[in-house]
Amino acid sequence: MRVGSEEHRRLLAVARGEEPPDLLVRGGTVANVYSGELLRADVAVSGGAIAYVGQSPPPPGPDTRVVEAGGAIVAPGYIEAHTHPWVLYDPVSLAGVAAALGTTTVVADTLFFHLQMGPERLAWMLDDLRGLPVNYLWVARLISQSEFPGERRLFSPEAAADLLAREDVIGTAEITRWPSLAAGDGHLLEGIARARQANKVSDGHTGGASEARLPALVAAGITADHEAISAGEALSRLRLGLWTMLRHSSLRPDLPELLRAVTEEGVSTRRLILTTDGSSPEHIAEHGLVDGLLRTAVEGGVDPMQALRMVTLNPATWMRRDHELGGLAPGRRADILLLPDLSSFRPETVICGGRIVAQGGDLLVPLPSLDWEGYGARPHFDPSLPLEDPRLYPPRSTDPRGKMPVVELVSAVITRLREESLPAEEGLVRLHGAPGGLLYAALVDREGKGVSRALLSGFADGRLEGLASTYNTTTQLLVVGRDPRAMGRAAARVREMGGGIVLVVDGRVTFELPLPVCGMMSPGTFEEAVACNRRLSRELRSRGYPFHDILYTLLFLTCDFLPAVRLTPRGLLEVKAGRVLAPAGPPL
């Protein structure tokens, strides 16, 4: 709100009691996150901002909308400080479920939008998202999650600076390639320096970093981290001055363990933040968003007011936005929840920016349709790429002993390297007679620039004939299976759909999910994303998938930052050593 504007003038007039508010919430008990008190108070709103909190509010006028709280807890809207709005759902459908569950501000990263659209069209999309029933804020990526030629031109410091100049971009996003940052990578340091010059934050990613490596990352300029998986790791980050995000997600439901830092070690919660870190649609449908974090925290022994601060005032302060977000006080954004209690944390009424957007868990306002085609969000595929040729997928045999590297999944996302001796025909590795859990895996560049190939174990069994997906951290074609012909049919169908996930069994397509938005997202409803997620999970479990989060397995199989080996655009990568074991080659 611009000082001296008509909107600001009216806010002051309402605060003085000289003009009626647009909205009046009365008869409630305010959860004051500043003082830690529960106070009987009314809240008056002018435009999209709070004008008054107290027991003698300005009288309503004929056009004032009065909300009778009836003794309910009146709390600030929740803030999700670290999420990824591209886990099958898109930013629009996520906004709908977030608003209904009381999350009124969402901090999201720009990765796949930047990767597919480029920075200019990304900015157009951010402009069009301003009318949603939640307040989207963004963190700008400085690099991708899997290195490729031209990466640093696309994610240039100049592109970052243009995004950082926007009011809705609060800083730079997590840098998953953190060893490069610790080593003093100039590209990354320049991006962080530009954030500092703009008085903005730099989110971090320190998964796997030892206590000896953490100081270099903090010295490089990161201000927050969400990768602690134990109470001890949370403490080590707090002690170095990092805002420490305690994660409870579909991939890493770690909050009960992390909360031991509070409930057993007694550390201050002043610099702790709760996050869902981009959970799957299925997980959100079952456990909620920030409301679910609050339930878990309170059930784990955290004081309700402390827990509430960890999703309101604390993230607002980290973002350097506590003058406008995170609490109920004059001049703050009118993001207000009416809660029945401080145990369920499911709001009866949700007010976002002074507008009632949800009641009883139901969204009251329409969600817009975005021009994804106009943003350039649909992935492009080379129509001449011979996707149905079965020779495209098996690894090439170069070892005279027939020894081949194998990527073995030991959890949903962690792998290890082993070897298998396998026969070859015409230079191509064959799986005839090999263990049933051994599969082909190929990462096919959509423009036909190259193919990375490997063998994969621990993902499924021999019943997985062919699976193709652009849902991975490169958005190229990840193709997995036992039968190269079925793999080719699945890949060709993904190309026909313009991105998505396809499963082929007995020569026919048994599951398909179009993902035309950056190859990662469906522009449909959140409920549709949940149903597709559940069906995909069932289909893969029936073919031997042994873990709990198929979406993150697909996402991270092609990344370049998790141990131990990954299928990347450069080839089969041994992550810690940075060594390419089998480089990408031509399609045929």
Instruction: Tell me the pLDDT tens digit for each residue of 398-438.
Output: 777 778 999 999 999 999 999 999 999 999 999 988 888 99
Per-residue pLDDT, 202: 98
Rounded CA Rg of the chain? 25
Closest CA to 588 of 488, 494, 500, 495: 488
User: How far is Cα of residue 361 from the mean position of the Cα atoms in its chain?
Assistant: 23
Total residue count of the chain as it appears in this document: 588
| 115, pLDDT greater than 80 | yes
Say if residues 391 and 428 touch (Cβ distance below 8 Å): yes
* E strand intervals along 110-226: 135-140, 169-172, 201-202, 224-225
Q: Which two tokens stand for residue 321?
A: 């936005």
Per-chain mean pLDDT for the chain: 96
Number of Cβ within a 10 Å radius of residue 312: 28
Instruction: Tell me the pLDDT tens digit for each residue of 358-414.
Output: 999 999 999 999 999 999 999 999 999 999 999 999 999 877 777 899 999 999 999
Residue 385, φ and ψ in degrees, nearest 5: -65, 125
73, 82, 136 from 315: Cα distances, Å: 21, 10, 14
Say if residues 269 and 243 touch (Cβ distance below 8 Å): no
Instruction: Tell me the pLDDT tens digit for each residue of 259-298.
Output: 999 999 999 999 999 999 999 999 999 999 999 999 999 9
b/e per residue, 45-76, with b = 16+ CB within 10 A?
A: bbbbbbbbbeeebbebeeebeebebeebbbbb
Per-residue pLDDT, 203: 98
Number of Cβ within a 10 Å radius of residue 396: 13
Per-residue pLDDT, 397: 87
**DSSP per-residue string spanning 253-265:** B-HHHHTHHHHTT
Closest CA to 98 of 83, 118, 113: 83
Report the share of the chain in percent with pLDDT over 70.
99
Instruction: Tell me the pLDDT tens digit for each residue of 450-470.
Output: 999 999 999 999 899 999 999
Report the share of the chain in percent with pLDDT over 90.
96
Quote the DSSP letter at residue 371: -
Angle at 531 between CA 139 and CA 517, to 5 degrees: 40
Per-residue pLDDT, 433: 80
Per-residue pLDDT, 434: 84
Per-residue pLDDT, 122: 98
Secondary structure (3-state) at 235: helix
| 4, pLDDT greater than 90 | no
| 77, pLDDT greater than 70 | yes
Q: What is the mean pLDDT of residues 143-152?
A: 96
Q: Which two tokens stand for residue 202?
A: 């730099």
Greatest C-alpha distance within the chain: 88
Dist. CA 198–CA 462, nearest whole Å = 54
Per-residue pLDDT, 3: 66
Q: What is the mean pLDDT of residues 94-103?
A: 98
Say if residues 464 and 482 touch (Cβ distance below 8 Å): yes
User: How far is Cα of residue 338 from the mean position of the Cα atoms in its chain?
Assistant: 27
Per-residue pLDDT, 402: 74
Ramachandran category for residue 129: left, alpha or beta (phi over 0 → left; psi -120 to 50 → alpha): alpha
108, 299, 463 from 296: Cα distances, Å: 22, 5, 38
Q: What is the mean pLDDT of residues 562-588?
A: 96
Dist. CA 314–CA 326, nearest whole Å = 7
Secondary structure (3-state) at 335: coil
Strand partners, 79: 105
Q: What is the mean pLDDT of residues 31-36?
A: 98
Secondary structure (3-state) at 326: coil
